[in-house]
Amino acid sequence: MSIDKELREELHQVADSMHFPPDLYGRVRQSYQHYMNEKRGKSPMKKRMLAGIVAVAILIPSAAFAASYLADDIFGSSTDIEQHGVSQEEYQAIEGMLQAAKGKLTEDEFKEYMELTKQIVQLKLKITDENGVKHEEKLTKEEQQQFEQLASKLAPYFEKINGTAKP
Amino acid sequence: MNDKELLPWLEKATLGDESAFQLVYQATHQDVYRTVAFLVYNKQDIEDIVNEVYTRMWRSFHTYDPNRPFRYWLHGITVRQVQDWKRKAWRRIRLFERNRQMTCEQFEWTDKAVLQSEMQHELFSLVRQLSYKLRVVVILRYFHDYALEEIADMLQIPVGTVKSRHHLALKELRKRFEMTGGDAYVH
């Protein structure tokens, strides 16, 4: 037998008698899954970072919104009110007044105050034209009564805010 | 399973189909493991390299030319991975540690069965004593039956170098074989 043939035979015999570690499959499989995740760009770390960025992108503008005008709660926005002849400066003045109220009233009081103000403003807007001129005759009798009620309810709050309330 | 049957599964596996991956592994792991085990003797190292071969397989599957035999491509990856590992190992291990490793390497091979077969297969035990450069040529030539030109391509060295290594390896084997008393296979 030539050495070539003998080499071939022996190498194949030895190869056939080799044992393959069974746990190697699990290891190769793990590497495979890892590679696939990497390839899809869906590694858990990347996912989390993306979620973080999205969350920040949403939170920043909404935080800015939350710190916006109290007056917007009542009028909608400054552009709405401009249609009734209220200028930006006047709007700022109203805002200042509302901020002062927030500082001086308790939380519950302020809630009530905002609610009443909202209602009275609705009525006021109804009778005010685009030049800021009032036409009280536009109100019905019921609405006039409502207006007076609101005004009387609001009076103690105004006193408190303006510091004229008795201790 | 032949190359043509394996190819669609390979494609699926590289796209993330896990059952296809399993099939590819079953069809190829013995071949890969044997090739590595003929070239590297430490059991842990063999497993590391086999694992790396598969990672390389997914990563560079796009470079595979389907007109050529898949096994040829696979053996190319395997041999290069072994060589990469040897380079890294050389940098990693300090010289005295390496000397220590080399002395116990002989007893640390895959398993007892191989050691036993080494006793039964005199010629094979001589192949194991060849230097890596000569051994890799012998394995590719006589275990995988590649032509010397193919081996040159795989190892990225000139054909002349492969020829001289092949010649040298056989000469070594013949010489040692004579010394150990095996006289029948000298020619």
> Choosing among B11, B39, B46, B51, which should be mutated to test the A contact, i.e. which has the most A CBs within 10 A?
B51
Mark whether A51 and A85 lie in a shared domain: no
> Choosing among A2, A4, A10, A25, which should be mutated to test the B contact, i.e. which has the most B CBs within 10 A?
A10
Which residue is closest to A34 within chain B, CA to CA? B55
Identify the band that residue B187 occupies on the pLDDT scale cut at 50, 70 and 90: very low
- Nearest partner of B51 among B20, B7, B84, judged by Cα: B84
Interchain contact, A28 vs B50, CB within 8 Å: yes
Mark whether A135 and A63 lie in a shared domain: no
Residue A122 within a domain: yes
Task: Please state whether B40 falls in left (phi above 0), alpha (psi between -120 and 50) or beta.
Answer: beta
Whole-angstrom Cα distance, residue A68 to residue A62? 10
* Global ipTM: 0.79
The residues in B 149-178 lying below 8 A from A, measured between CB atoms, are: 170, 173-174, 177
- For B1-109, CATH number out of 1.10.1740.10, 2.60.40.10, 1.10.1660.10, 3.40.50.300 equals 1.10.1740.10
Residue A79 within a domain: yes
CA distance B127 to chain A (A): 9
Mark whether A32 and A96 lie in a shared domain: no
Q: Where are the domains of chain B?
A: 1-109, 111-187
More confident residue, A144 or B55: B55
Average pLDDT, integer, range B116-133: 80
Interchain contact, B142 vs A11, CB within 8 Å: yes
Q: What is the DSSP string of A20-63?
A: --TTHHHHHHHHHHHHHHHHHT--HHHHHHHHHHHHHHHHHHHH
Residue A48 within a domain: yes
Q: Quote the pLDDT of residue B162.
A: 96
**Domain span at A38:** 22-67
Q: Which residues of A touch B116 (CB under 8 A)?
A: 17
Mark whether A61 and A73 lie in a shared domain: no
Task: Please state whether A76 falls in left (phi above 0), alpha (psi between -120 and 50) or beta.
Answer: left
List the single range of A139-153, B29-43, B96-110 with lowest mean pLDDT: B96-110
**Kind and range of the H or E element at B29?**
helix B18-39
Architecture field, domain B111-187: Orthogonal Bundle (1.10)
Residue A12 within a domain: no
Question: Which of A67, A99, A128 is the last residue in one of the domains?
Answer: A67
Mark whether A31 and A94 lie in a shared domain: no
Q: How many domains does chain A have?
A: 2
pLDDT higher than threshold 50 for residue A167: no
Mark whether A51 and A106 lie in a shared domain: no
Which residue is closest to A36 within chain B, CA to CA? B16
Mark whether A47 and A77 lie in a shared domain: no
Identify the band that residue B113 occupies on the pLDDT scale cut at 50, 70 and 90: low
- In chain A, alpha helices (H): 3-16, 24-40, 44-66, 71-75, 78-82, 88-104, 107-127, 141-162
Average pLDDT, integer, range B70-78: 93
CA distance A44 to chain B (A): 17
Mark whether A45 and A79 lie in a shared domain: no
* Tens of pLDDT, residues B140-171: 999 999 999 999 999 999 999 999 999 999 99
Residue A13 within a domain: no
CA distance B87 to chain A (A): 22
From residue A62, alpha-carbon distances to A167, B44, B72, B158 in Å are 39, 56, 61, 69
pLDDT higher than threshold 80 for residue B105: no
Which residue is closest to B170 within chain A, CA to CA? A3
Identify the band that residue B98 occupies on the pLDDT scale cut at 50, 70 and 90: low
Interchain contact, B173 vs A7, CB within 8 Å: yes
> Choosing among B124, B134, B174, B177, which should be mutated to test the A contact, i.e. which has the most A CBs within 10 A?
B124
Mark whether A49 and A76 lie in a shared domain: no
Q: Quote the pLDDT of residue B140.
A: 95
More confident residue, A9 or A77: A9
Q: Indicate yes or no: pTM above 0.80.
A: no
Query: Degrees (nearest 5) of the Cα angle B46, B52, B58?
Result: 145
Q: Quote the pLDDT of residue B186.
A: 44
